Structure 1
Amino acid sequence: MDLRFKYNPLNVERHEIRLLKLLSPGSGPSPAKSALVNCTLEHVSLDEIPEYQALSYVWGNPALTSPICVDGQIFEATFNLEAALRHLRKKDASVTLWVDAVCIDQSNNVEKSDQVQRMGDIYRNASEVVIWLGQTKQEHSKLWAQLKELSHLSAGTGALELNIDHLVDVDGKETRAPWLLGLNLELQKVFETITIGYSDEDTLLIEPLLKLLMQPWWSRIWVVQEASLAMPARVVWGSNEMYWGELWSALGYIATWLHFQSIHLMGDESYHKAFFSLERSQQFWVPLVGAWERVNRRSDDKKVKLIDMLLQTSVTSALTATDPRDRIYGLFGIVEDADELGIKVDYSQSVESIYEGVARALLRTEGLKMLQCCQYSARHRSGTLPSWVPDWSSSLRQLLDGLRILLPSGVYNASGLIDAREARELEKLKQRIGKLNFQDSPLSSQVSLSPDDSAATTLASEESKPGILPILAARVDSILAVGGAWEEANDAIDGHIRDMLWVEELEQLAEKSKGVYSEAAKDEALWRTPIADRGLPRLTYIWFTRATTEAMGHDVLMGRFPLDKIEEASRSFYYQKSRAYQKILRAFGKGRRFFVTQTGYLGLGPDSVEAGDEVYIISGASIPFVLRPTGGSRSYKIIGETYVHGIMDGEFMQKRPEMTTVDLC
């Protein structure tokens, strides 16, 4: 006997959707079912602009369900959805909602593909989006009031920008606007009594705040478009409510404060523990807060591109999707270049087929900088996904070029400038390039590379085989030895020790160097390599510039700066230098390890790097790559991007190395 809920089919030509009418308590088709949450479903056309609210929530464990009654039938809803519907229903009136788990027949891939394609319009046209964070304790209302107070700081300081630089210049220069320094004082007042645990005297309650920031809702890929398109959105956490704009502002201040405190940490041990816990929570909520800003605070002439949002939600992000295909499809409501890329929602395709199709489309539009998104994941290791296809279901951790990959040029320029002779040779090569072999690709009719595409200039001339991407590249060296992977610390003191020991590993590898650097260059490599030659942001919250004065921070960390000769009252400046250096180190060290090559180059590579891997510079890419030979004469897998000291600005390419064809598989 088939007990599944029976749906009536939607009329696609009328652009129909289903709406859920949530009935008041006690209503139901029979006394036995009146105790359940009771609803009815109706079909409406989006063209007729129906009135409804859209629900943004987390499904939760699909195996843990609670029955609700829909049109007299039993529907097994997840615990979290049943709790949300029970909370949102009204005593004396019905509530009309759009709820994906009920309004879409999840077992029908054709219908699901059509409805997901419409989800941007569904959330955009809703009279209100209700963001359900789940149930909470009554005492957490104090935190809610504190967050509202924090959000109101923006009234006196102007709109908050999440890309505010650290509030006091680590170089000791008062270059910040007076209002920004005033904001710091206000933030200090709010956060000065933050502690582990809570009491009546606490200004901000750390435990409920962490509970709020680590709610499952923050980690769901769909909430990016649901919160970004909502006008307005109401956040509901148990009995507590506020508008999303208020919560966004409060979280922006918290992010700013954390950025400041990571350099200028003050207070007692409990204060440090509170900061450390909050800093670790950022992977859950900062990507979503940043994505909202990217969509809603952009200039009108700039498109929201798929590559932008993929990076925003994948770099150091905890955003997940139950169905890995939704890492792509869950962003379609906000991206504006899906048609240009030729990508349609189609749940009949496999994950690997979708990811490869997206990779080929991005190669056409973004060029070979798309390869910087390739991190060697389990799908790559198993051979189900070509290594040159980014695995969006796996966190990209911290790309060395960060979100700078979105710009015409990144921070580095490993390929160097192409002189006139090389340009002529590449132009001849362009004329010989045929279409890449798109056999078995779902986007074969839409994303072939033409000889006029800029991405084509660095692809090999012969036609590729399925799953193979031929590129032109210069071999730098093979890897001789690798160090241990950087490990996350448990607290501030543990973090300091771990950072110091990790940097010592680079010094041990440097002893194997065979003279590729001068002594002065080797000393420079030892402090620049752990931070990938990057400095703290000066104008933006996200982008790290190239390093300038960070050598002092390295020396203080490693105990080589004569602090004993500095008056104790003046030492805080130098400790700040060390903390600034460590902040950069942790940003770029996560998921990475040091290595030394056969000729002595020192590098910072992905955690999957092994002795015997090779370093290549791909013509047209701004950063070197670690490639792994697969046994064929020119067949390699991409392990990931890498920092190699001494070749990041075209120095190696100035030697005019031989450019060879490499088959990426």
Structure 2
Amino acid sequence: MSNPQISPIWKPLHNPSSIRLLTLYPGRFQDHVEASLEESDLRKDPYYEAISYYWGRQMPEYDITVNGQVLQVRKNLYDFLRKLRSRSQNRILWVDAICISQMDLEEKSQQVRNIHHVFLQASCVHAWLGEHQDSSEVLFDPQEDAWQPHEGLLRKVWRLTFSPTPLRKLYDARRRRVRIWIAFFQRPYFSRRWIVQELVLARSIMMHCGTDERSWDELIGTRVYYKTFDGINFGTIGDIYNPVNDPFRKATNNIRMLLMLRDEARTQKFERDIFTLINMFSHTKCEDPLDQVYALLSLEDSSMSSRQDMQYYTARRTGVIFPDYQKDMADLFITVFTKRNCTDPIQLNPSLLDTENARRRSQKSGRVRWNVDQVLVELGSQRALTAYHLLADLHLDEFEMKLVQERLHEAALKDHTGRLNAALSDTEKAIRFINRQRTSYQM
């Protein structure tokens, strides 16, 4: 990709609230992609649409023209730009890989602070799922909704018959659709940590797959009936439907949390702290380890629905964690842990008590992280427990944890309040406990 320091593509931005918007010129699918970048101020509420997509692991190697200069982008974005552009008129878009000078870490840090407002103010967020596969065409067919058996019908059949045959036929038909949904939700797009805030903040969402598109509410919102039948896990139905091992429920766990957060955001009941958010989405992925935190920061405030909160662009608010891509993971842990004081993480996030889920995560990560009671006794304080979960959820390795101790120790020597000494003590307890667990796991 072109050097941002000398390229005419990315001209310096004038204000903290400034972003760049991409004007995608019209053309046919097979035509070369041409566009221009211009600065715009979010405080003036410009019109644009935002793009949400999976970057992919390929190197940027597909040529497009921006401001008269050749710019290479990754295949997934290249395909979507060709599908999304109009044949007759310009389209104004915000695309992270193009609108942000990715190699300029100072600019990237500033622009990521604005992501909250970028997606909150976009007229629509277009989510690109990729090409059709595994019969995903069925999911974008409006007729498919009418075909589906309703949950109420399934309950009536269960009540009216002692024979498993009618119910089994309904479930066999449903299973065929469920398999398609499972494959759909296992696409790389849904494993991205960045999509959490992109989809939670969006006014409206259009889902694109192949040449088809459907709104989020039509495609995802109407699938609520795919849920566990609480209490119906025995006898005939227990043989057919086991909610504990339900693969659909596992595949849609991320979507369920997104639906919940979108609802909370719109009812202004959003009170998730950064510790809880990191833990909730610790299974998701991001290319830059720092984005394990930065991709969720804009969801932390309970006032996130206020579009006029322009103080977010400046550093006026106290206790705000600002993205800084010149940090490493050790510095990021220290920043998050010392700027946030979660007094009772278990109360804020009941999932921390899910010992079965914890056991599976421990086996997968090679780290015996739980039993919760044992952790509480060993660590002795809720703050140490917070450090323990944060270290684990950010996947810090042994070298990074050693850096955390060294840097906290240096900072504590200069701190006269005693606050950093307490943070150092709690962090050291958490690290010692994690190291003991690793040793026990290897024995």
> Normalising by structure 1, what TM-score?
0.48
| Matched residue SS, 1:349 | coil
**Within the alignment, does 1:234 sit opposite 2:206 as a pair?**
yes
> What is the root-mean-square deviation of aligned Cα atoms in Å?
4.4
Distance in structure 2 (CA, Å) of the matches to 1:133 and 1:8: 28
CA deviation string 1:260-281 (max 9, x = no partner): 6766773877x779x7542442
| Matched residue SS, 2:106 | helix
Of stretches 37-46 and 58-67 in structure 1, the one that deviates more from structure 2 is 58-67
Quote the offset at 1:287 in angstroms: 3.9
2:198 maps to amino acid: E
CA deviation string 1:537-575 (max 9, x = no partner): xxxxxxxxxxxxxxxxxxxxxxxxxxxxxxxxxxxxxxx
Conserved? CA contact 1:67–1:77, under 8 Å: yes
The residue that corresponds to 2:137 in the other structure is 141
CA deviation string 1:269-301 (max 9, x = no partner): 7x779x7542442455444344434434553xx
Distance in structure 1 (CA, Å) of the matches to 2:68 and 2:157: 53
Q: Give matches, 1:265-276, under 5 Å.
A: 266=237, 276=246
Distance in structure 2 (CA, Å) of the matches to 1:191 and 1:6: 64
2:281 maps to amino acid: T
Q: Give matches, 1:239-254, under 5 Å.
A: 239-254=211-226
1:134 maps to amino acid: G
**Within the alignment, does 1:113 sit opposite 2:109 as a pair?**
yes
Distance in structure 1 (CA, Å) of the matches to 2:115 and 2:233: 39
Q: 1:311 is matched with which residue: 269, 272, 279?
A: 279
The residue that corresponds to 1:373 in the other structure is 389
Conserved? CA contact 1:388–1:637, under 8 Å: no
The residue that corresponds to 1:355 in the other structure is 333
Quote the offset at 1:204 in angstroms: 5.0
The residue that corresponds to 2:80 in the other structure is 84
The residue that corresponds to 1:490 in the other structure is none
Indicate the percent of aligned positions where both proteins have the same amino acid: 22
Conserved? CA contact 1:291–1:309, under 8 Å: no
Q: Give matches, 1:568-579, under 5 Å.
A: none
Q: 2:296 is matched with which residue: 323, 331, 337?
A: 331
The residue that corresponds to 1:400 in the other structure is none
| Matched residue SS, 2:207 | strand
Change in CA separation of 1:261 and 1:289 when aligned onto 2, cut-off 3 Å:
farther
| Matched residue SS, 1:97 | strand
Quote the offset at 1:22 in angstroms: 1.3
Q: 1:382 is matched with which residue: 392, 398, 401?
A: 398
Distance in structure 2 (CA, Å) of the matches to 1:304 and 1:90: 39
| Matched residue SS, 1:13 | coil
The residue that corresponds to 1:534 in the other structure is none
Of stretches 63-72 and 288-297 in structure 1, the one that deviates more from structure 2 is 288-297
Distance in structure 2 (CA, Å) of the matches to 1:104 and 1:449: 40
CA deviation string 1:345-394 (max 9, x = no partner): 111111221112212223476552514515658965523125999xxxxx
**Within the alignment, does 1:257 sit opposite 2:239 as a pair?**
no
Distance in structure 2 (CA, Å) of the matches to 1:306 and 1:210: 29
Quote the offset at 1:113 in angstroms: 0.6
Conserved? CA contact 2:22–2:38, under 8 Å: yes
Change in CA separation of 1:148 and 1:227 when aligned onto 2, cut-off 3 Å:
farther
Distance in structure 2 (CA, Å) of the matches to 1:287 and 1:119: 20
1:80 maps to amino acid: N
**Within the alignment, does 1:57 sit opposite 2:53 as a pair?**
yes
Change in CA separation of 1:65 and 1:258 when aligned onto 2, cut-off 3 Å:
farther
Quote the offset at 1:218 in angstroms: 0.9
Higher helix share: 2
**Within the alignment, does 1:122 sit opposite 2:92 as a pair?**
no
**Within the alignment, does 1:278 sit opposite 2:248 as a pair?**
yes
| Matched residue SS, 2:38 | strand
Quote the offset at 1:10 in angstroms: 3.1
Distance in structure 1 (CA, Å) of the matches to 2:168 and 2:87: 40
Change in CA separation of 1:312 and 1:268 when aligned onto 2, cut-off 3 Å:
closer
The residue that corresponds to 2:17 in the other structure is 15
Quote the offset at 1:327 in angstroms: 1.0
Structure 1 unpaired stretches of 5+: 28-33, 154-180, 196-200, 390-435, 473-617, 619-624, 629-635, 641-665
Q: Give matches, 1:99-498, under 5 Å.
A: 99-136=95-132, 140-144=136-140, 145=142, 148-149=145-146, 182=152, 185=155, 193-195=170-172, 205-254=177-226, 256-257=227-228, 266=237, 276-297=246-267, 299=269, 303-314=271-282, 317=283, 319-336=284-301, 339-363=317-341, 368=383, 369-371=385-387, 373-374=389-390, 380-385=396-401, 439=410, 463=421, 468-470=424-426
Quote the offset at 1:244 in angstroms: 1.7
Distance in structure 1 (CA, Å) of the matches to 2:277 and 2:54: 20
Quote the offset at 1:471 in angstroms: 8.6
Change in CA separation of 1:185 and 1:440 when aligned onto 2, cut-off 3 Å:
same
Conserved? CA contact 2:207–2:216, under 8 Å: yes
Conserved? CA contact 1:37–1:68, under 8 Å: yes
Distance in structure 2 (CA, Å) of the matches to 1:378 and 1:138: 33
Quote the offset at 1:76 in angstroms: 1.4
| Matched residue SS, 2:35 | strand
Distance in structure 1 (CA, Å) of the matches to 2:217 and 2:45: 25
Change in CA separation of 1:143 and 1:229 when aligned onto 2, cut-off 3 Å:
same
Distance in structure 2 (CA, Å) of the matches to 1:151 and 1:193: 10
Quote the offset at 1:304 in angstroms: 3.7
1:121 maps to amino acid: H
Distance in structure 2 (CA, Å) of the matches to 1:136 and 1:111: 36
The residue that corresponds to 1:560 in the other structure is none
> Normalising by structure 2, what TM-score?
0.70
Change in CA separation of 1:43 and 1:206 when aligned onto 2, cut-off 3 Å:
same
CA deviation string 1:233-264 (max 9, x = no partner): 1112223322223334334332x237667667
Distance in structure 2 (CA, Å) of the matches to 1:468 and 1:290: 35
Structure 2 unpaired stretches of 5+: 159-165, 303-311, 345-381, 439-443
Structure with greater Cα Rg: 1
| Matched residue SS, 1:354 | helix
Change in CA separation of 1:114 and 1:246 when aligned onto 2, cut-off 3 Å:
same
Distance in structure 2 (CA, Å) of the matches to 1:127 and 1:376: 37
Of stretches 57-66 and 122-131 in structure 1, the one that deviates more from structure 2 is 57-66
Conserved? CA contact 2:120–2:203, under 8 Å: yes
2:32 maps to amino acid: L
**Within the alignment, does 1:74 sit opposite 2:44 as a pair?**
no
Distance in structure 2 (CA, Å) of the matches to 1:365 and 1:204: 46
Distance in structure 1 (CA, Å) of the matches to 2:130 and 2:11: 32
Conserved? CA contact 2:388–2:431, under 8 Å: no
1:257 maps to amino acid: T
Quote the offset at 1:48 in angstroms: 1.8
Quote the offset at 1:25 in angstroms: 1.4
Conserved? CA contact 1:265–1:272, under 8 Å: no
Distance in structure 2 (CA, Å) of the matches to 1:387 and 1:192: 59
